Amino acid sequence: MTSQPGEFDALLLPGGYSPDQLRGDERFVTFTRDFVNGGKPVFAICHGPQLLISADVIRGRKLTAVKPIVVDVKNAGGEFYDQEVGGR
């Protein structure tokens, strides 16, 4: 991975099995941590917050998540926001 967080305007974390695979590679965890700490927008879908948990960046933040990882979000210090996210 040769990209740097400064090269992008936003980060989209996919759902499904991808976050579980990505968080096993420290390069992606570090990239995600640096991106979040840079203050740019991050969008996490479905299981996407798993990568944010591994990057240790959700403490004190409000976020949505798929039900199976709500406990993980809370254990990592995140505030689970149980609302639908709409695009309008």
Neighbours of 36 (CB within 10 A): 19
Position 87 pLDDT exceeds 70: no
CATH number assigned to the domain covering 9-80: 3.40.50.880
pTM of the predicted model as reported, rounded to 2 decimal places: 0.89
Query: Domain locations in the chain?
Result: 9-80
**Whether pLDDT at 88 is above 70:** no
* 14 pLDDT higher than 80: yes
Catalytic status, residue 18: no
Q: Is the pLDDT of residue 76 over 70?
A: yes
Res. 1 pLDDT band, cuts 50 70 90 = low
Q: Which of the residues 46, 53, 69, 73 is marked catalytic?
A: 46
Are 51 and 28 in contact by the 8 Å Cβ rule? The answer is yes
